[in-house]
């Protein structure tokens, strides 16, 4: 079908096209410039005739047919349908409706999960759409740009791919004490996922329209923040002490810079990979590091020894103090007990002086004879003193009675507690013999 074929030589001339397969350009050979005047058929096509031919062929496409035959067609030539105005209008309307439907259908689009769609109306920001099946007025009225807000983006400063591939203009930085350090760090960031308030652009719109190269702005902000933080610290501090704190401060400073420029970017992490002095002085710094490590090790050993010895000394001191307190309590208790016993004996003595005096004498002699190796016995037949070798009997008696002793055998205790068993120190002593010996003592002293 050659409805819109502009190469048809019959356009505007009312002549049918040549048969299929016939070469229309077979006479397009160079000819002599002195050609005779062209005939009516060789003249340029008339615009009215072109429009009529187009109308006829368009009517034939939409089912229109001629109600009669032209004189040229009555002789058995090709039948050309005559255009119908009504069918022509229907065809034009149909084409318009189809074209309008296709144009409106081109406004449908899909925003995937983790993405946001930024719609512009004649180039001006209009709205931000969430993930899902969306529609906008087709171009050229509205356009949509899809922005990925879920992907985490990263870059390195001071090196590329590995630590050996350094970028010295980025890595070398000046510290507070005017030393140079080689800093290599990584930055991870992503776009903010907020949709924006009513009338205000979203973070995705800021990323697209507020800055020309937002990713390059993040790199420059990272380098600027790191240089500022390093410039406020000494070399030893940034090398050995405050890497983690420095990374946190750099992230906060970067975020403040990016928010001030309204880039719509959120900084996730800043990780310092390596901080070292320049290669020219690396050996000297390694020696200094070893010395510092030795110093730290010795400090740790001293602290460990101190933490071991000091608790032991404190324990010994506490034990000595406790022993002293116990000895003090024992001595004071004994003294108080002796005083109370003396008071009680004094009371008993005031009530019965003779009996108390005799009992004290008996108790004292019992204590004296219990430590002697001989035993004095008084018999009823005579007053003679007999010394018997019964040392072994005393030892056996002492060893058998000591485990059963339940109270001290002092003189005062016997006086206060008369019920105490007094046979646990020596063999039984005849009270009468003790009294006789008491009577004999003054005479012996006088003879001396």
- The contacts of residue 200 (CB under 8 Å, 6+ apart) are none
> Among residues 63, 119, 118, 121, which one has the least CA distance to residue 88?
63
Residue 10 pLDDT class (50, 70, 90 cuts): low
Tell me what the pLDDT averaged over the chain comes to. Answer: 75
pLDDT at 335: 93
Which of the residue ranges 10-24, 80-94, 217-231, 256-270 would you say has the lowest mean pLDDT?
Answer: 10-24
Q: How far apart are the first and last CA of the chain?
A: 175
- Give 422's Cβ-side CA count (13 Å radius): 22
Which of the residue ranges 82-96, 294-308, 338-352, 421-435 would you say has the lowest mean pLDDT?
Answer: 421-435
52 vs 332, higher pLDDT: 332
pLDDT in tens, 288-307: 778 888 998 999 999 999 99
Mean pLDDT of 194-219: 86
> Which helix (DSSP H) or strand (DSSP E) does residue 109 occupy?
strand 108-111
> Among residues 191, 205, 207, 192, which one has the least CA distance to residue 128?
205
Its pTM stands at: 0.47
The vertex-389 CA angle with 383 and 394, nearest 5°, equals 105
Residue 73 pLDDT class (50, 70, 90 cuts): very low
Is residue 171 classed exposed, middle or buried when 0-12, 13-18 and 19+ CB atoms within 10 A define those classes? buried
pLDDT at 379: 59
Cis preceding linkage at 140, omega within 30: yes
- Look at residue 442 and tell me whether its pLDDT is greater than 70: no
- Give 157's Cβ-side CA count (13 Å radius): 26
């Amino acid at each position: 079908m050659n409805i819109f074929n502009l190469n048809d030589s019959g356009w505007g001339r009312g002549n049918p096209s040549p048969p299929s397969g016939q070469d229309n350009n077979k006479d397009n050979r160079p000819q002599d410039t002195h050609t005779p005047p062209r005939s009516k058929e060789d003249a340029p096509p008339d615009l009215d005739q072109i429009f009529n031919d187009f109308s006829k062929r368009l009517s034939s496409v939409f089912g229109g047919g001629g109600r009669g035959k032209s004189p040229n067609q009555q002789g058995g030539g090709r039948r050309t349908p005559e255009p119908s105005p009504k069918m022509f209008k229907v065809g034009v309307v149909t084409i318009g409706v189809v074209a309008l439907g296709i144009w409106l259908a081109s406004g449908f689009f899909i925003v995937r999960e983790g993405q946001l769609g930024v719609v512009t109306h004649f180039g001006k920001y209009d709205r931000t759409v969430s993930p899902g099946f969306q529609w906008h007025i087709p171009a050229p009225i509205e356009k949509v740009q899809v922005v990925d807000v879920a992907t985490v983006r990263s870059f390195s400063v001071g090196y590329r791919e590995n630590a050996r591939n350094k970028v010295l203009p980025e890595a070398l930085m000046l510290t507070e004490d005017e030393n140079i350090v080689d800093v290599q760090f990584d930055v991870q960031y992503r776009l903010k996922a907020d949709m924006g308030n009513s009338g205000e652009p979203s973070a995705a719109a800021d990323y697209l329209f507020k800055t020309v190269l937002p990713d390059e702005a993040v790199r420059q902000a990272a380098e600027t923040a790191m240089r500022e933080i390093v410039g406020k610290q000494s070399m030893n501090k940034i090398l050995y002490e405050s890497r983690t704190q420095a990374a946190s401060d750099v992230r906060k400073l970067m975020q403040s810079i990016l928010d001030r420029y309204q880039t719509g970017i959120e900084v996730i992490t800043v990780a310092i990979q390596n901080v070292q002095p320049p290669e020219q002085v690396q050996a000297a710094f390694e020696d200094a590091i070893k010395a510092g490590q030795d110093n730290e090790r010795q400090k740790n050993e001293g602290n460990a020894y101190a933490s071991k010895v000091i608790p032991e000394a404190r324990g010994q001191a506490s034990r000595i103090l406790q022993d002293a307190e116990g000895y003090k309590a024992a001595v004071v208790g004994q003294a108080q007990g002796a005083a109370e016993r003396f008071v009680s004996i004094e009371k008993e003595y005031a009530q019965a002086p003779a009996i108390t005096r005799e009992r004290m004498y008996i108790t004292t002699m019992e204590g004296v004879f219990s430590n002697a190796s001989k035993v004095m016995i008084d018999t009823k037949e005579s007053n003679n003193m007999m010394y018997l070798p019964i040392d072994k009997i005393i030892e056996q008696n002492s060893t058998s009675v000591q485990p059963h002793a339940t109270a001290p055998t002092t003189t005062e205790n016997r006086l206060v507690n008369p019920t105490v068993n007094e046979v646990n120190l020596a063999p039984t002593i005849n009270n009468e013999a003790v009294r006789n010996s008491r009577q004999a003592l003054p005479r012996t002293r006088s003879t001396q």
